[in-house]
């Protein structure tokens, strides 16, 4: 029997600063079968947007999650970033 292993991916999300934006992002991540390993969120200097950096893990393709996050109303962009060796040991 073939055993599937989880891969980790790092995402950089730019979104409009709204009280519910983080909840929506996390809900999509959970519904698409991904697990959050690490997260950092910071408000940008203009105070109108927020930067969310996530490390997620799943057996599913990361493009599935990225395309769904891009569909969220307040999300401006989702970028899949290269993974460093230090970050892969997080989850």
- Domains for the chain: give ranges and CATH numbers: 7-83 (3.30.70.260)
**How far is 56 from 37, CA to CA, in rounded Å?**
5
**How far is 19 from 5, CA to CA, in rounded Å?**
35
Q: Does pTM surpass 0.95?
A: no
Q: Tens digits of per-residue pLDDT, 23-69? A: 999 999 999 999 999 999 999 887 799 999 999 999 999 999 999 99
**pLDDT beyond 90 at 88:** no
At residue 27, the 3 state secondary structure works out as: helix
Instruction: Give the residues across from 51 on adjacent strands.
Output: 14, 42
Backbone angles phi, psi at 20, to 5 degrees: -95, 0
- Would you say 50 and 15 are in contact if contact means Cβ atoms under 8 Å apart? yes
């Amino acid at each position: 029997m073939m055993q599937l292993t989880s891969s980790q991916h790092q995402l950089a999300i730019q979104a409009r600063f709204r009280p519910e934006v983080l909840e929506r992002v996390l809900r999509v991540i959970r519904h698409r079968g991904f697990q959050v390993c690490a997260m950092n969120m910071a408000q940008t200097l203009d105070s109108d947007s927020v930067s969310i950096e996530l490390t997620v893990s799943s057996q599913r393709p990361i493009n599935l999650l990225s395309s769904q996050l891009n569909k969220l109303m307040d999300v401006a962009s989702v970028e899949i970033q290269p993974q460093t060796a230090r970050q892969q040991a997080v989850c």
